Amino acid sequence: MTDQELISNIRIVPDFPIKGIQFFDVTTLFKNPATFEEVIQRICALYKDKGITKVAGIESRGFIAGAAVAARLGAGFVPIRKPGKLPARTVSESYAKEYGTDTIEIHSDAITEDDVVLIHDDILATGGTAAAAISLVQKFNPKAVFVNFIIDITDVPRTAPFPDGVQLDSLLHLSEN
C-alpha cells in the first residue's frame, strides 16, 4: 500500500478544535481494515528489533494503534492519560500546546528501569504533548525511549524541544497548507 493510499483515508477537518487549526482525523484511517492493518504493520516493522517491552499510548487516539502494536510486539501497553483518569498513584507532566496548556499522567508503577519504551501518538504538530510524554517516561529511567507518530505535520513550528538520544519516527509527513 502506498503513502498516498493511506493519506486518502485521512479526513481533514478545518477549524477543529479551534479556528485556524486544520485537524487530521485518523479515525477514518482506522475504520478501513486495510489501512489500519497497514499502519500497524509499518509501525511494527520499525521497532520489531528494538526490544520494546512497553508501548505507551497517548490519550486518546494513541491508544488505538498503540495497543495493537504492543500486542504484535509482545509488549505491555501503558496509557498516558489526562489528569484524574487513572485509578492508582500517578506521575504527571504539564506542557503548553498550540491552543492552551495541558497535563498528562502515567501510573507510578507503569515503567521500570529494565523497560524499552515506545511512545505512540497519532499526530506530531507543535511537539508539546510528545515532549511532555518523553519527559514523563524518562522519569522512570528506562533503558531506551523511542517515539512514533502516524502523521508528522511538517509545516507547524515545533515549540517544544525533544531530548537528544530519543529516536523519533513518523509514517507520513503532511502539511497543513
Domains assigned to the chain: 51-174 (3.40.50.2020)
Q: What is the DSSP letter of 16?
A: -
Q: What are 81-137's pLDDT values in tens digits? A: 999 999 999 999 998 766 678 899 999 999 999 999 999 999 998 888 999 999 999
Q: Is 93 a catalytic residue?
A: no
Residue 98: per-residue pLDDT: 62
Q: What are 11-27's pLDDT values in tens digits? A: 999 999 888 888 999 99
Residue 97: per-residue pLDDT: 66
Q: Is 89 a catalytic residue?
A: no
41: pLDDT strictly greater than 70: yes
Residue 20: per-residue pLDDT: 85
CB 50 within 8 A of CB 74: no
Rounded CA Rg of the chain: 15
What's the mean per-residue pLDDT of the chain? 94
Residue of 135, 175, 169 lying closest to 155 (CA atoms) = 175
- 5, 37, 93, 98: which one is catalytic? 98
**64 CB-contact burial (10 Å; exposed 0-12 / middle 13-18 / buried 19+):** buried
- 42, 61, 81, 93: which one is catalytic? 61
Residue 136: per-residue pLDDT: 97
**What is the C-alpha separation between 93 and 43, in angstroms, rounded?**
26
